[in-house]
Structure formats: C-alpha cells, structure tokens
Structure 1
C-alpha cells in the first residue's frame, strides 16, 4: 500500500504536469508572442484548434501570426558585409510559449538600400536605433557567441529580425526581435 508521502508526491507531480502542459490562455482571447507583437503581427487564436496542420496538436497557439505587407522575418546566418545579408526565412512554430520564429530553408542574399533604419532589441518590446555597421557587428557577435562584445542594454536575443522590404525586395528597415 502506498504511503501518504508517495501519494502526495504523485498528486503534486500530476498538478505540475497539468500546469506545464497548458500553454494557451483559458479565456480564448490569447496573445501573440514577443516576436509577433514586435513585428506588428497579430495572431488570431482559436482555442483548442491548431491552425497549422504542422503545429503540434497538443499546443494551443491559435492561428499563426500574419505579418504586415512588405515585412519578412529573417534569421541571418553570417555577419552582413558589403550591403548584403545572407539569411534564412524565419517561420513561426507553435511552442509551449506561443508562436516563436525559427530560421528554415535555404540561405538567400538580401541587399540593403541606402539609409536603412536599424534597431536592436533592449528588452521586451523595446528597441534602440543604431547605425547599420553596429547592426552588422551585433549580428556577427551574436552568431559567434561573443556575448562579451554585446554591451547592455543590448543582448543576443534569438537571432530573428523583422525586415521591411521595398518593391525591389531590398531591405529598407530591420529590427531585431526580442526573445528571452
């Protein structure tokens, strides 16, 4: 016969498991992840129904976020140089923490226009405008895991960037997406 201590441990474990596996809000209103909010994307949650057939059916993220026209999420794969950044498209994936972007697929070159607006993350939803060369150094330092080179309030926060492209497909604005 199990002891009271074993029974209490089992009940506590079951309660913790229920708490950990519940990732969506219970009121059905939901919220977009930091990445989506920063990019101006809005998720339209549908409680209990994964919108993406590739999404884990055990998650409750709702519909994937939609980016505004002209925006693209990218994951740079090397330090940009000579006005070119090589990156992968970043696609949203349902996780226990809602929709999170991850780089996928082939590497493509993206060219920067003159007078690009560049912003780096300083915390949840906060950014700091920087010169383009500072953005390039930041991307290179984070990819090299040289976190000592990244001075606060900046951090390496996931390597995903919300990029605004012009009609030619060139970068006119780039903003790092904060991810804890």
Structure 2
C-alpha cells in the first residue's frame, strides 16, 4: 500500500508543477503588466519607457507578435529607411522603415513604396561595427557595403556585417541625405 501512496503523491506533485510551468510567458499574464519580460535592445531598437497597460496593450501588439511596450521615438529630423535596391553613386531608393514589435524587441522594417533620395555634397556616413558601435567611412564605402548586403553578403568583411539593412538618415533643407548611419541588429 505504501508504494501506491508514494506513486499517487509523486504524480500529484508532478501535476502541480506542470500546471505552474505552463503559464510562464508574458502572453499568459492575466494582469497584462508584462512583469518579467525583458528588453534585449540594440541600436535598431529603443528601450521602452514603460510596459503597456492592459488598455493599450492591443494597440502596441497590433504591430507584431511581441510584448515590446511603447514604440521607439526617433530624435527630431531622423528617419529610418530600408534600401529597396543597392544604392548607386549619389542616390538611394528606400522605403520608410517602421518599428515592428517582435518577440525580442522593436525591429525596423521597410514598408510602403520606395522614395528616391539624393545625397548632399558633404555626407557623414557610418557603418555598424557591432552593438552601439559605428565607424565613420567615406559615403562610397557605405554604398558598396549596402549593395553587398543586399546582393552578396559573403563579400562583407569584418569588422562590418550585414545587420538588418536599416539606416538612420537625416535630410538637409533641400531634402538631400546629409547623414546616414547603418543600424546594428543581431
């Protein structure tokens, strides 16, 4: 009789533990406060300022499957773009990139119709060398890098990588790109 009681007790403990382990994700959080979910940010994503309240969670989740909190806000004058075709000397055809909530964090993706941009005479260009790190390069090197990432990623050599094909740009008063920085993302 004792072995039967031990077996029943063991099964009861395992069943109780199993029930506790099945409801451990933020999507199963009955209170919707996202406690325990982290933000693994990168320069392509922004640190959320707060977790969504139950009332605004549906709005934030409409952009994707994750639980990211408040969408990132870019500094005034900045916009994220994703090249639609490899840049050519002096121009860039790119889609506006919008933040999309993923299971890990906000990640930018190009959306809509591509826009045509010209580069200003003196362009500040930066390529990503890892999380939060960039290196200033001649704009022509950035064009080659962006094209290689789109057509031949194996041609890209360290310290650079193809990390999402998203660029932070600013425009001068004539609407020309006067700064362009590759955004790193794993």
Please indicate the TM-score interval, normalised by the length of the shorter structure. 0.7 to 0.9
Q: Which residue number corresponds to residue 171 of structure 1?
A: 177
Query: Which residue of the other structure, out of 162, 165, 178, is the alignment partner of 2:168?
Result: 162
Q: Which residue number corresponds to residue 153 of structure 1?
A: 159
Measure, in 1, the Cα distance between the counterparts of 2:160 and 2:23.
35
1:72-83 correspondence to structure 2 within 5 Å = 72-83=79-90
Label 1:33 to 1:64 Cα distance change in 2 as closer, same or farther (>3 A): farther
Label 1:114 to 1:17 Cα distance change in 2 as closer, same or farther (>3 A): farther
1:41-120 correspondence to structure 2 within 5 Å = 43-48=48-53, 49-50=56-57, 51-52=59-60, 54-56=62-64, 59-120=66-127
Label 1:84 to 1:99 Cα distance change in 2 as closer, same or farther (>3 A): same
With the length of structure 1 as denominator, give the TM-score of the two structures.
0.78
Label 1:25 to 1:82 Cα distance change in 2 as closer, same or farther (>3 A): same
1:31 to partner: Cα distance: 7.3
With the length of structure 2 as denominator, give the TM-score of the two structures.
0.76
1:53 to partner: Cα distance: 6.6
Cα root mean square deviation, aligned: 3.3
Measure, in 2, the Cα distance between the counterparts of 1:101 and 1:114.
28
Q: Provide structure 2 residue ranges, at least 5 long, that are not aligned to the other structure.
A: 1-9
Label 1:176 to 1:59 Cα distance change in 2 as closer, same or farther (>3 A): same
Contact 2:91 2:117 in 1 (8 A): yes
Contact 1:30 1:45 in 2 (8 A): no
**1:125 and 2:138 correspond:** no
Matched pairs, number = 169
Per-residue CA deviations over 1:10-44 (Å, capped at 9, x if unaligned) read: 939x848735868x96279967543135xxxx643
Measure, in 2, the Cα distance between the counterparts of 1:19 and 1:90.
29
Query: Which residue of the other structure, out of 40, 44, 65, is the alignment partner of 1:35?
Result: 44
Moved more, 73-82 or 24-33: 24-33
Contact 1:33 1:97 in 2 (8 A): no
Structure 1 stretches (4+) deviating beyond 6 angstroms? none
